[in-house]
Amino acid sequence: MKQFLRYRFSTVLGVVGAGQMGTGIAIVGSAVAGLRVRVVDVNEQRLNASHNFVSKWCDKEIQKNRMTDQIKTDVLQRFSFHLQMSDLASCDFVVEAAPEKFEMKAEIFRQLVKATKPETILASNTSSISITKLAGITDRPDRIIGMHFMNPVPVMKLIEVIKGLQTSQQTLDTTLELASKMKKEIVIAQDIPGFIANRILMPYINEAIQTLHEGIGTVEGIDKAMKLGTNVPMGPLTLADFIGLDTCLEIMRVLHQDLGDSKYRPCPLLVNYVNAGWLGKKSGRGFYKY
């Protein structure tokens, strides 16, 4: 098995955030890469939900004959769940998977800098926020990098790796090796808002919402037109519900603010849905009811 200890990479992966993305990252870290994983979240209920999700995910893999009971036991034994950032002190690599809000991520990085060793690499799962900007608030900007996983993480093959202005080659090499160990395909994107995937995807979703807002088509009609007309597996409004409308709005706001182009202005209907608490599948209602 390929090793990456030459880059001072330990067998312990830290993950900050026990939501859908953080849990998915932790799963591929343990089940695919074979690493010990420490998941940290300030919410004990989320940690318990994450633990339960991992166990149920393993059960589904067993039902599909992709995992045995013994492998499940091994995967779960490599997991630990924590409420304190200090429990990541021995990790050499930590991935932050918090909501797409700069100040929230910045505060997590400030805490991580205090909690981890100076040589620890800190990666953000941000899908739009500047890695260079995040690195600038730390005392180790050369060890900050973007590692944008796609949702759902155990299923989607892609990771966007984003090198900030200050990111060292060694940090990039270590990150690429971790992604390879997770059996992911890799694209390297420039540190420009939205990177590659969301620079293209979010304006597409936003325009679909604008099309609905203007009454050009119904929810079902818009999704059907794009699914059957362009052969995508999921219509844009279904996809928005799956991603989370609040996440879509945050990304569009980053694009609009940082790029300064009116074409990235969030559709008013998207803003209203988020204000109403209609966030998509996770809230039980978005463009569809769940």
Q: Is 284 annotated as a binding residue?
A: no
Q: Is 127 annotated as a binding residue?
A: yes
Clarify whether 148 is annotated catalytic.
yes
Q: Is 2 annotated as a binding residue?
A: no
Residue 148, φ and ψ in degrees, nearest 5? -90, 100
Report the candidate in 241, 266, 276 with the shortest Cα–Cα distance to residue 128: 266
Q: Is 77 annotated as a binding residue?
A: no
Burial degree of 285 (CB within 10 A; 0-12, 13-18, 19+) = middle
Catalytic residue among 124, 125, 130, 198: 198
Clarify whether 220 is annotated catalytic.
no
Q: Is 19 annotated as a binding residue?
A: yes
- Give the span between the Cα atoms of 143 and 149, in whole angstroms: 19
Catalytic residue among 30, 160, 206, 250: 160
Contact (CB, 8 A) for 278 and 285: yes
Q: Is 207 annotated as a binding residue?
A: no
Amino acid symbol at 97: A
- Relative to beta strand 144-149, strand 121-124 is parallel
- Give the span between the Cα atoms of 176 and 111, in whole angstroms: 25
Please count the residues of the chain. 290
Catalytic residue among 30, 124, 125, 127: 127
Helix (H, G, I), strand (E, B) or coil at 261: coil
Q: Is 59 annotated as a binding residue?
A: no
Could you identify the residue written with the tokens 């362009």?
A: 230
Q: Is 221 annotated as a binding residue?
A: no
Q: Is 105 annotated as a binding residue?
A: yes
Q: Is 21 annotated as a binding residue?
A: yes
Catalytic residue among 50, 148, 206, 250: 148
Q: Is 261 annotated as a binding residue?
A: no
Clarify whether 160 is annotated catalytic.
yes
- Give the span between the Cα atoms of 114 and 134, in whole angstroms: 15
- Give the span between the Cα atoms of 118 and 42, in whole angstroms: 23
Contact (CB, 8 A) for 274 and 245: yes
Clarify whether 198 is annotated catalytic.
yes
- Give the span between the Cα atoms of 49 and 186, in whole angstroms: 29
Amino acid symbol at 278: W
- Give the span between the Cα atoms of 103 and 186, in whole angstroms: 28
Q: Is 22 annotated as a binding residue?
A: yes
Annotated binding-site members for NAD(+): 17-22, 41, 100, 105, 127, 151, 282
- List residues with catalytic annotation: 127, 148, 160, 198
Annotated binding-site members: 17-22, 41, 100, 105, 127, 151, 282
